Amino acid sequence: MLIDSHVNLHAPQFDDDRALVIDRARAAGIRLMVNICDKVSGFAAVRALADQPDIWCTVGTHPHEAKENPGLTAADLMAMTADPRVVGLGETGLDFHYDLSPRDVQARVFQAHIEAAQATGLPLVVHTREADDLTGDMLEAAYRIKPFRMLLHCYTSGPELAARAARLGAWFSVSGIASFKAANDVRAVIADMPADRIIVETDCPYLAPVPHRGRRNEPAYLPAVLASLAEIRGWTLADAEQRTEDAFFALFDRIPRP
């Protein structure tokens, strides 16, 4: 089963042909998609797409958007996770590359998501960029208080954070970046990820994999991501598909397995 664990189908880049994009995904064999919330204020648009049986969603606020709701609490998030189509929290985390929200606000909003994950048992979808040390510190400190499940999505950070997260039982998702010519460091980390905790994603409309690079990304391109993962790990395509399927349902266990 091909599963795109991270799509942004509500994004404005799909406003002109969203239904066609979803149709192409299904035609390409994508059986499930998780539409990822980038800000709580936009949750309604994210959730609207999850009325379809093969699309689920998360709720949360990306670090870029943390400034819009600096007082966001775990209770706020937990109230929205009562919706049975919500299967995770995030994406959330720290992004010190763009700094589109103040760093202290990013950390405070990230902490609220962590606490909601601890309380609900739902997986935490983590975005981290150029913030490896603080991301690792926050995850470890919270995990010591109460364990929770986490996914480091579109992982492009270094081997040190990957090792720290792996010790906490984290899952990792692989994106089209794995196919980029200059991404040798990313491929080296992917080669060392826990084999039973790797899933795949497009992060569409961003990061289209080779041979689609430079185009708007969409879920129909997921097979190219899976092929890159299989090559890096030395797996057959069938093995990669089965392994990522098993890992997905182990993480997103609110979704019934067909």
pLDDT digit string (tens) for 177-194? 999 999 999 999 999 999
In a domain? residue 200: yes
Instruction: Check: CB of residue 138 under 8 Å from CB of residue 114.
Output: yes
Q: Which domain holds residue 172?
A: 2-251
In a domain? residue 256: no
Is the pTM for the entire model greater than 0.85? yes
Tell me what the mean pLDDT of segment 22-49 comes to.
Answer: 98
What value does the mean pLDDT of the chain take? Answer: 98
Tell me what the mean pLDDT of segment 119-133 comes to.
Answer: 98
The reported pLDDT for the residue numbered 6 is: 98
Tell me what the mean pLDDT of segment 221-238 comes to.
Answer: 98
pLDDT category at 258 given cuts 50, 70, 90 is confident
Burial 157-185 (b: 16+ CB within 10 A, else e): beeebbebbbebebbbbbbbbbbbeebee
Tell me what the mean pLDDT of segment 5-28 comes to.
Answer: 98
In a domain? residue 126: yes
In a domain? residue 173: yes
Number of domains in the chain: 1
In a domain? residue 8: yes
In a domain? residue 258: no
CATH number of the domain that residue 38 is part of: 3.20.20.140
In a domain? residue 97: yes
In a domain? residue 257: no
